[in-house]
Amino acid sequence: MRIFLVSCILSLMFFSCNKKSADEKKIEALPVQIKIDRFDQVFFESSPKDLHTIKKRYPFFFPEGIPDSVWVNKINNPLWRELFAEVQKKYKKSETIEAELEKVFKHIKFHFPKTKSPKVYTVIAEMDYDNKVIYADSLVIISLEMYLGKDHKFYEFPAYIRQNFEQRQMMPDLVASFGKSKIITEKDNTLLSQMIYHGKLLYLKDLLLSGYTDDEKMGYTPKEISWCEENESYIWRYFLENKLLYNNELKLNSRFIAPAPFSKFYLEIDNESPGQVGAWIGWQIVRSFVKNNDVSVAKLLELNAKELFKKSKYKPKK
């Protein structure tokens, strides 16, 4: 009997791997080509007399009502020019980014066939770390100044934010922005709803990113992902014992969902924990749902948190 069960398990694993391999071959064959339009280079390598031509070519980067003097000052400003020089050191050529974008959008095209290949622009913006990559329908904007490396001299941010200012985080940021256009935010705003929402975003990274580790998808260090894996049952027990799943207190977002230096259990373990442990648990719930239910990606993204949680049969690893 035992030999029979082992054989069944091995057969299922083999079938799963074969299916994944077949899907990857289909994805690789999709005709997706991405060419980056380097607005950052066009802008900072131009002189003020070229401004009218640039505005005509890129009208969406020049809001109405802002005088030309603002843009001229930006072109000539020594600090902006120093920042552009630093970006050029790392990203003078963009072939590597284009190749990564093509991989991601092949996966997107496979799982979301109606999605158009986007026009991609690189910019140097205002160091807005909440919007490092913006996906908007058929447009992608990448702020290159946010990917110079976590220890770059220009960054005056807390370590838990800076750790994701690496080139390797560019594609996870893209998928997160893409996912926000596909997932509806629920109105009840309970901790469970927030967990499942972010769990869906992270599950899209499982689908759309090839060759990325869980810590990279999460924006964690390897040590932080290990902490979550080792303490999964404890985190879950804490949520249940304190009746937090269906609680909609606003502070639960900052305690367990939003980026933070640590999660706030109000216990001694706080300083050992990473932020966003609620989002990580939500990810495990969504993964459990996918394992136990045969549904399309579209259906998964539509399901409300309560139904998804009920059907997930989630149990934390001991």
CA-nearest of 190, 205, 176 to 278 is 190
> What percent of the chain lies above the pLDDT cut of 70?
94
pLDDT(208) > 60: yes
Strand partners, 245: none
Quick one: pLDDT at residue 173?
98
Quick one: pLDDT at residue 317?
83
Contact yes or no for 40/123 (Cβ under 8 A)? yes
pLDDT(8) > 50: no
Contact yes or no for 67/150 (Cβ under 8 A)? no
Q: What is the β-pairing status of strands 133-136 and 139-143?
A: antiparallel
Q: Write down the pTM of the prediction.
A: 0.91
CA angle (199, 203, 206) in 5-degree steps: 150
**Which of 5-14, 99-108, 192-201, 240-249 has the weakest average pLDDT?**
5-14
Q: pLDDT tens for residues 140-189?
A: 999 999 999 999 999 999 999 999 999 999 999 999 999 999 998 888 89
Q: pLDDT tens for residues 38-76?
A: 999 999 999 999 999 999 999 999 999 999 999 999 999
260: left (phi over 0), alpha (psi -120 to 50) or beta: beta
Mean pLDDT of the chain: 93
Overall average pLDDT of the 296-304 stretch:
96
Q: Cα–Cα distance between 165 and 151 in angstroms, integer?
A: 9
| Cβ count within 10 A of residue 65 | 5
Q: Cα–Cα distance between 13 and 36 in angstroms, integer?
A: 39
Sign of CA dihedral 244, 246, 252, 257: positive
Q: pLDDT tens for residues 9-39?
A: 444 444 445 556 788 899 999 999 999 999 9
Q: pLDDT tens for residues 276-295?
A: 999 999 999 999 999 999 99
